[in-house]
Structure 1
Amino acid sequence: MAALKIIHTADWQLGKPFGRFPSEVSGALSEARLDVIDRIAEVAQARGANHVLAAGDIFDNVDPGDRIVLQALSRMDRAKLTWWLMPGNHDHARPGGLWSRVRGHAPARVRIVDEPCAVEIEEGAWLLPAPLEHRKTLSDPTAAMVDMETPAGAIRIGMAHGSITEFGASGESTNLIPPDRAQTAGLDYLALGDWHGFLTIGDRTAYSGTPETDRFGREEAGACVFVEVRQGNAPVIDRVETGRYRWLSRRWDLSILDHLHVELADLRSEHRLNDVLLDLKLAGAASLADRVGIIDELEQRVAHELRHLDLDGSGLVARPTPEDVARIDVQGALAGAAAILQARADAGGADASLAAAALERLYVEAMRSTAGAEA
């Protein structure tokens, strides 16, 4: 065989709970991880690949529940592809465990490779898997590939889940894979899982990354990898985006409400907000009126447009103007209270931040009272 077209993917982590989010957000994120199976199938069919190799962590844990298992298998069965699923560290193989249950439900299109034995996936092309039997192992899971025999001239594709030694791991690190394993085992391609971003090591080894991003710190969309594997030659490797949600981290330095509008316009021009989870930190100094307006717009409007907003406004300092204080109460006791709070906030002592927060609250309540009286 001269070449074989495959899709390499990993780290689906189906059934991940996303427990720190509200239920409507966690539910959407969990469902997206199932939906991405359909997009992987679309990529495979568009690129002419008949095989999908999933290099571990298909499931987030060893007991994902029947709905997750059956939903995943049903989606895979719809596509006219062969899916090769291998246990990783989150969903490691154990007798009578998850993979026995998956195998019991799996349609013919879904093949479980939970033993370190070479298997012919197409005439002249062999898969050499390194399934994990434990969540952590001190031994190299790919060592057995060196002695896995295949016919002369066959395409050899390794599949493993773990960390490349050069990532800086030391001591009793687990699931370590040497960076030259493709060369020492005579592999035409080594498909790796565990690292959630796309990464190539040399010309014959790659991490596909997760197909649906699941954490802040990775701003790129999730992806799979199209690979054209050629016996004896370096493979063609092409990253293809599949993810729906974008997890963005931003720091906006603001001083007036219009600055927020500029940042939001830029964000809307680049992304669909309903597909964005935003970790936003504010910085700068604004009048009390502008700070209240900025926070209010983010919490009462933008947060509802986004899939999710994590907002830290503590870095946006209020600098009350005389006009701000005058609007609280031109006469009466509130004016005196506002003056005292402003003085303490300006003094910068131990209770400055508390005084600033109290002044802001006083301003907000005064504006609400004024609005109610005018209604």
Structure 2
Amino acid sequence: MTRFLHTADWQIGRQYGRFDPQDAIPLAEARFLAVERIAALARERGVDAVLVAGDVFDTQTVSERTLRRLFNALEAFAGPWVLIPGNHDAALAESVWTRARRFNCIPPNAHVLERPGVQVFADIGLAVLGASLTQRHTHTDLTGFFDTQETPAGLLRVGLAHGSVQGLLAEEVDSLNPIAPDRARRARLDYLALGDWHGMKQIDERTWYSGTPEPDRFKGNAPGHVLEVDLTAPGAPPQVTPHAVAGHRWHERSETLSLPGDVDRLGELLAALDARDVLSLTLAGRLDLAAHERLETLLGQAQGRLRCLLLDREALQLAPTEEDVEALRADGYLGEVLGTLRARQEGDEVAREALAVLAGLLRERQQAQGERA
């Protein structure tokens, strides 16, 4: 039996420009930590090899330090690592891979297939057919040669490719690079390890996307895994076991808040999250002053507890009741300003923020007056 891990889309060097730097830096660091967990898992599970189906790096221009850190992260597993370039790190004439070789970063047990071909590992009974990308986009199926490529008799035939299985994935996949949906059958493969789709996905009995080991977007397509693949003999069906390795969990939620109970339910949702969680939260609705103040407290607590909170509350309005306005005792000029802001806040973020600030200041003035009385 031959056992290996299938992983892909490490995207080392990815930048998180939409995030505040204090969140972007840990999210980038998490990608190195995910690779370290994969190496530790490979050692723990006693696998024969680790296959990486492209996009090891997010760009061709990562620094020398980043290159060295990535290959150092492989150290825990001394067996063979088999890597192919993907669309983000294609094996151009001058590429991240040529730079890595020039810096002498690549360890002896890391086998980078910079050109389409076969790498034979007779000692573990494995022949890897690699459809390496030598340019970012291609309109031809680079796995086509698998059909006629001969491998030594008795060895398992495993394909390694990066691209889009035609007709089975959503339109927003990373690259155009097409792959025939029946390639495993046509090429007599025991297993076809794919990269490019960032979620874990089974195409057929012998064809899988592992997905990225560390989530990097708000999509519920099961990212954050590596696949353990057991092959008992040529022609036998593979046994595939997912392992969760992600350091962070990414969530996207939209909530409409109109009643105090809605705010309480949002508080329960936020309380269930912790420092591993990245949350994109869109809020809409109308809240009175007390509910709005409760919401601000909950959001402040969440921002301090979560890894990151991306907040969109453009459609959320502060709607003081007549009792709220009367209790604020905003007469004269302040009353006129308060009324103007209440009227203008819809579609005007500055007016909404100003209304919240003014209401808060008036509430604080009330409390101060009460303490002096």
Q: Aligned residue for 2:195?
A: 193
Distance (Å, rounded) in 2 between the aligned partners of 1:309 and 1:90: 28
Distance (Å, rounded) in 1 between the aligned partners of 2:149 and 2:246: 35
Distance (Å, rounded) in 1 between the aligned partners of 2:112 and 2:277: 34
Q: Aligned residue for 1:238?
A: 241
Q: Is the 8 A contact 1:248 1:277 kept in 2?
A: yes
More displaced 10-residue stretch of structure 1: 363-372 or 109-118: 363-372
What's the CA shift string for 1:188-222, capped at 9, x where partnerless?
00000000001111100000000000011237451
Alignment of 1:174-213 (within 5 A): 174-213=176-215
Q: Aligned residue for 1:55?
A: 53
Distance (Å, rounded) in 2 between the aligned partners of 1:215 and 1:355: 32
Give the C-alpha shift of residue 98 in structure 1: 1.7
Q: Secondary structure at the match of 1:291?
A: helix
Give the C-alpha shift of residue 63 in structure 1: 1.5
1:289 and 2:290 matched:
yes
Letter of the aligned partner of 2:258 in structure 1? S
1:16 and 2:11 matched:
no
Letter of the aligned partner of 2:89 in structure 1? D
Q: Aligned residue for 1:119?
A: 119
Identical pairs, percent: 35
Of 358, 364, 370 in structure 1, the residue corresponding to residue 360 of structure 2 is 364
Letter of the aligned partner of 2:52 in structure 1? A
Q: Is the 8 A contact 1:4 1:229 kept in 2?
A: yes
- Cα distance 1:251–1:351, how it changes in 2: closer, same or farther (>3 A)? closer
1:324 and 2:328 matched:
no
The gaps in structure 1 that reach 5 residues or longer are: none
Distance (Å, rounded) in 1 between the aligned partners of 2:285 and 2:211: 36
Distance (Å, rounded) in 1 between the aligned partners of 2:15 and 2:82: 25
Q: Is the 8 A contact 1:119 1:127 kept in 2?
A: yes
- Cα distance 1:354–1:265, how it changes in 2: closer, same or farther (>3 A)? closer
1:253 and 2:256 matched:
yes
Give the C-alpha shift of residue 112 in structure 1: 0.9
Letter of the aligned partner of 1:129 in structure 2? G
Q: Aligned residue for 1:88?
A: 86
- Cα distance 1:296–1:169, how it changes in 2: closer, same or farther (>3 A)? closer
- Cα distance 1:115–1:338, how it changes in 2: closer, same or farther (>3 A)? closer
Q: Aligned residue for 2:148?
A: 147
Letter of the aligned partner of 2:361 in structure 1? E
1:32 and 2:30 matched:
yes
Q: Aligned residue for 2:279?
A: 278
Q: Is the 8 A contact 1:220 1:246 kept in 2?
A: no
Q: Is the 8 A contact 1:328 1:335 kept in 2?
A: no
Distance (Å, rounded) in 1 between the aligned partners of 2:240 and 2:107: 29
Distance (Å, rounded) in 2 between the aligned partners of 1:214 and 1:45: 26
Q: Is the 8 A contact 1:156 1:189 kept in 2?
A: yes
Distance (Å, rounded) in 1 between the aligned partners of 2:359 and 2:330: 12
Q: Aligned residue for 2:98?
A: 100
Q: Is the 8 A contact 2:9 2:211 kept in 1?
A: yes
Number of positions where the alignment pairs a residue of Structure 1 with one of Structure 2: 364
The gaps in structure 2 that reach 5 residues or longer are: none
Give the C-alpha shift of residue 48 in structure 1: 2.1
More displaced 10-residue stretch of structure 1: 316-325 or 135-144: 316-325
Distance (Å, rounded) in 2 between the aligned partners of 1:336 and 1:94: 66
Distance (Å, rounded) in 2 between the aligned partners of 1:122 and 1:260: 62
What's the CA shift string for 1:290-336, capped at 9, x where partnerless?
124313431x3211211111112233333321231123325443234
- Cα distance 1:82–1:268, how it changes in 2: closer, same or farther (>3 A)? farther
TM superposition score normalised by structure 1: 0.89
Q: Aligned residue for 1:78?
A: 76
Q: Aligned residue for 1:263?
A: 266
Distance (Å, rounded) in 1 between the aligned partners of 2:366 and 2:24: 39
Give the C-alpha shift of residue 100 in structure 1: 2.1
- Cα distance 1:91–1:371, how it changes in 2: closer, same or farther (>3 A)? farther
What's the CA shift string for 1:241-277, capped at 9, x where partnerless?
10011110112233355543433334433x4x11111
Distance (Å, rounded) in 1 between the aligned partners of 2:347 and 2:17: 35
Q: Is the 8 A contact 1:222 1:241 kept in 2?
A: yes
- Cα distance 1:229–1:30, how it changes in 2: closer, same or farther (>3 A)? same
Distance (Å, rounded) in 1 between the aligned partners of 2:240 and 2:169: 25
Distance (Å, rounded) in 2 between the aligned partners of 1:65 and 1:371: 56
Distance (Å, rounded) in 2 between the aligned partners of 1:78 and 1:228: 21
- Cα distance 1:219–1:283, how it changes in 2: closer, same or farther (>3 A)? farther
- Cα distance 1:31–1:372, how it changes in 2: closer, same or farther (>3 A)? farther
Letter of the aligned partner of 2:31 in structure 1? R
Letter of the aligned partner of 2:144 in structure 1? A
Q: Secondary structure at the match of 1:73?
A: helix
RMSD across aligned C-alpha pairs, in angstroms? 2.5
Q: Is the 8 A contact 2:34 2:245 kept in 1?
A: yes
Distance (Å, rounded) in 1 between the aligned partners of 2:105 and 2:145: 29
